[in-house]
Structure 1
């Protein structure tokens, strides 16, 4: 441990610049080949050995076993190409013996929204794995078609993956579907799964499969409840590309005392430190903003418009298909007040629109907060 602690921290940017130099095997020696989505820049090649894949899948399946039922029917609305998340859900279901299918509605030529609803009526899924953005788009579509009540009847559980999501968003999604909504897991293609959800809805780190530390202003320190910093991880089951003291760049806060009784530390993931924006002199993360948007409005999405200097201009909110338009001015004022109070942001305009670009909610495989929920516009003199 003394020698380990003398090792320097591995910046994630260094890994992304020369990813194959960290590998113990070449891609042609691997059993699986994945890449990251590339939402923060260049995609990272990620070969994996069978042992890497199996150990990650088994550890996640056992962590989710208390959440899933033996008679569950699972529908996975997650991408199957390039990134490992679609494979992981299938592997977990196979290990637990759960009937399942994949139906990613953005897989052009294979599955679209009509094919998805047909599959839904036949399978009658009880658990749905989905990215938050896709869940938003699907909910709007089914409401517009008048199909939500019918298709939600079989669903008791929604497992969100792929993007940071907030408790207000999960509560809203749960009210639409009449289901329990969980932030299912946290991790990355480079590291594998780092934390999973419990029945109480909190994330628990997986210390049996990873060694965790925190990078703080005081240096790199062991995990301790109440401390916030960037998560530093050494995966214990990644043999194709062993990583020592990788700085994930993700801002987290460590907590304890979960109602589920698990002794594993709980973690609140605030998002990538690189995803934080300085708007009007205030630092804003995706979690900060979404707690405002979904906490005080019934919006199903949002788009920020800023000028090239980072000055906030407009916040566009996507109205729900059955929303009460008479309350929109009241909700807009509530957003203004909450933004100023908790974020120190002042918007020139807060407005509701009928629909936002599909890129704002197409899911983890196509999504980067800075690219899809922020639009830089020039001020007109």
Structure 2
């Protein structure tokens, strides 16, 4: 028999509690049902039953932690907790840090994902035109933003990402011609569009007057990088969203500039990977237990992201814990015996005026290249990296176009439909696009 709710479930709203005690009651009330749903999957069934009774949030520590290795080992449907006929969509991660992992959602799951995503301070509405510039395909990022935009009544422009059809130059035209008000993208995209706009003779800070904000995700984002994006685009808000393909949005930024965990929809823990001890606040690896996920419940799922959680309140008044995403192991390298993260580096790089594009490579010393026309701040950056990280760096200033070639910014759309009949002058080797 189907276990899926085909209508939208009753989900807690931001006004359903006023303090940490109220939030804990929401979690406690929902946890037994969430665990019961999880036991319908092959992976969770014995794992939860063998741990003994888990009735409260405090009992969760009895259960073992799971991670991406478990998702890969149970590919594709080992975590499925509903009938296959109730699965609305199937997705896979990008596979950038290993083999792809599966993720699937019922219609009710999507309602939860969309509702969480739409909570951020950008406050989408019918008057907005939302440009979605993250991948669709098998990832969830583009789909959740698209559905959230429609849920809030916005017009959606599905621009996708990594597409030869929608180039950076075309995005600039769409932003301007369609009076786009909000864009959802990777942080790097905001720099690429700015450079593409400049290549087209436009000023990002002036010539896009309807653009009122960017919502960014998918990459490490330091405060200095976030500030640089806002500066380039005329001081508009740049709001961060944090999540994953397996979970959808886990946190969104409020008007006070802090990321709030949607802790009424999942239970967050901070795990010390050395001791195995977990807590509700402090620094460590983020572990979550979903409360409303039907198709693929996650119980004590370790995202391997290093975070700092604070439950002491926020100036915005939202009664949800805040999180600072400090990075993940895959976004770090060892240089001279010291571990350095991308976030650490970009905080220093974007402290320099005028920088948009940079890259670094680890070895016996750190090689850093930054694109700049004008003054050479290499010695300043070398000293900063040494003093802040203890890593020896060699910084090279390279001319614009070295890291991001000009043709990347000005390229026009490329698209060829499959053909089998050609004219006498057609290049039939190039035109047959079966691949």
TM over 0.5: yes
Q: Distance in 1 between matches of 2:347 and 2:145?
A: 28
Aligned to 2:24: none
What residue number does 2:92 align with? Answer: 35
CA RMSD of aligned residues (A): 2.3
**Greater share of residues in helix:** 1
> What is the rounded CA distance, in whole Å, between the counterparts of 1:31 and 1:356 in structure 2?
44
Is 1:355 the counterpart of 2:401? The answer is: yes
Give the superposition deviation at 1:47: 1.8
Identify the match of residue 53 of structure 1 among 98, 110, 116.
Answer: 110
Mapping of residues 90-239 of structure 1, within 5 Å:
90-104=146-160, 106-108=162-164, 110-149=165-204, 151-216=207-272, 217-224=274-281, 227-239=282-294
SS at 1:234's partner residue?
Answer: strand
Residue 219 of structure 1: SS of its match in structure 2? coil
* Cα distance in 2 between the residues matched to 1:84 and 1:194: 13
In structure 1, C-alpha distance between the alignment counterparts of 2:142 and 2:285, rounded to whole Å: 27
Structure 1 CA distance, aligned partners of 2:331 and 2:224?
A: 20
Is the CA contact 2:229–2:238 (under 8 Å) kept in the aligned structure 1? no
For residue 243 of structure 1, what is the aligned residue in structure 2? 298
Larger Rg: 2
In terms of fraction of residues, the more strand-rich structure is: 1
Deviation track 1:251-275 (CA, whole Å, cap 9, x = no partner) reads 0011344221212111110111243
Q: CA deviation digits over 1:286-335, x for unaligned, max 9? A: 211110111234221221133xxx3224211122xxx4x1x22xx21221
Q: CA deviation at 1:184?
A: 2.7
| SS of the residue 2:351 aligns to | helix
2:315 counterpart of 1:315 = no
Number of matched residues? 346
**Offset at residue 107 of structure 1 (A):** 1.8
- How far is the alpha carbon of 1:183 from its aligned partner? 3.6
Aligned residue for 1:40, secondary structure, equals coil
Q: Distance in 2 between matches of 1:179 and 1:241?
A: 40
Q: Deviations over 1:61-96 (max 9, x none)?
A: 2x1266445522222222221111111111111111
- Structure 1: tracts of 5 or more residues without a match: 363-381
Match of 1:343 among 389, 392, 396: 389
SS of the residue corresponding to residue 96 of structure 2 reads coil
What is the CA–CA distance in structure 1 between the aligned matches of 2:397 and 2:202, rounded to whole Å? 28
Secondary structure of the structure 1 residue equivalent to 2:401: coil
Comparing 347-356 with 269-278, greater Cα deviation is found at 347-356
Q: Name whichever of 114-123 and 85-94 sits farther off.
A: 114-123
SS in 2 for 1:348: strand
In the superposition, the TM-score normalised over structure 2's length comes to 0.74
CA offset digits 1:112-171 (Å, max 9, x no partner): 234333322331112111111111111111112212345432212111121121111111
Q: 1:122 to 1:147 in 2, by over 3 A?
A: same
**How far, CA to CA, are the matches of 2:185 and 2:371 in structure 1?**
20
Compared with structure 1, are the counterparts of its residues 3 and 48 closer, same or farther at alpha carbon in structure 2 (3 Å cutoff)?
Answer: same
CA distance in 1, matches of 2:331, 2:229: 24
> Displaced runs of 4+ in structure 1, greater than 6 A?
none
Deviation at 1:198, TM superposition (A): 0.5
Secondary structure of the residue that 1:125 maps to in structure 2? coil
Task: Give the CA deviation at 1:25.
Answer: 4.4
Residues 16-53 of structure 1 show CA distances to partners (whole Å, capped at 9, x for unaligned) of 33333222247665210111111111111212111111
